[in-house]
Amino acid sequence: MRYLRSNAEKYDLDQSRIAAWGDSSGGHTVLMAGFTGDRELNNDPYQGVSADVSCIIDWYGPIDFSRMNAVPSSQNHFDSDSPEGLEIGGKPIFENLGLVQQASPLTYLETGRKVPPTLIMHGSRDCIVPFNQSCLLYERMRETGQDVTFVRVEGASHGSLGFHCAKTVDLVESFVREHLE
């Protein structure tokens, strides 16, 4: 975000209207970026440049690595070579719960501290990132008084199956227009 703002003129961007949208690990990334904003990771090359975004669109991002195996999934999420283990430096999840907590968007949600409006979309048949991951995020956002919308995409799985269609894109476009105009 800081890089984009620093190069807004070069890329013809409106710095006051930035939406962050990602799917799967990209969903996790935009949640972390949007929830931490200006309070975390202020890199030297971009000191003083805001990292805030106007809104977030999360498509089936992982939320709490320690709970990924709580429901059936097509993979083991706890090993050091799992995507989640690699995210915390190639370490086993249950031997590194402090790192797992730092990597969870839930950690950055607090009552009285607003985060950008967030649209969560998750497929009901996701066999890679369990559907309950988005449920955890939605519940915590509601508990902390955040602006959140949650859409269960019936029959959709992980990735493009069920997501890249007019219905889901229209929902995203409507959400973005509402929060950027």
Name which residue leads in pLDDT, 74 or 58.
58
Q: Based on the number of CB atoms within 10 Å of its own CB, is 167 exposed (0-12), middle (13-18) or buried (19 or more)?
A: exposed
Domain ranges of the chain: 2-11+22-64+104-180
Whether 78 and 92 have beta carbons less than 8 Å apart is answered as yes
Beta bridge partners of 149: 119
Whether 57 and 26 have beta carbons less than 8 Å apart is answered as no
Lowest mean pLDDT among 70-74, 79-83, 164-168, 170-174: 70-74
Whole-number Å distance between alpha carbons of 115 and 147: 8
* Whole-number pLDDT of residue 40: 61
Average pLDDT over residues 123-143: 96
Whether 112 and 146 have beta carbons less than 8 Å apart is answered as no
Whether 181 and 16 have beta carbons less than 8 Å apart is answered as no
Q: Please determine, for residue 121, whether its predicted confidence score (pLDDT) is greater than 90.
A: yes
Whole-number Å distance between alpha carbons of 130 and 136: 11
The domain made up of 2-11+22-64+104-180 is a member of CATH 3.40.50.1820: yes
Name which residue leads in pLDDT, 136 or 43.
136
Q: What is the pLDDT of residues 151-163, one digit of tens each?
A: 999 999 998 788 8
Q: What is the pLDDT of residues 81-103, one digit of tens each?
A: 999 999 999 999 999 999 999 99
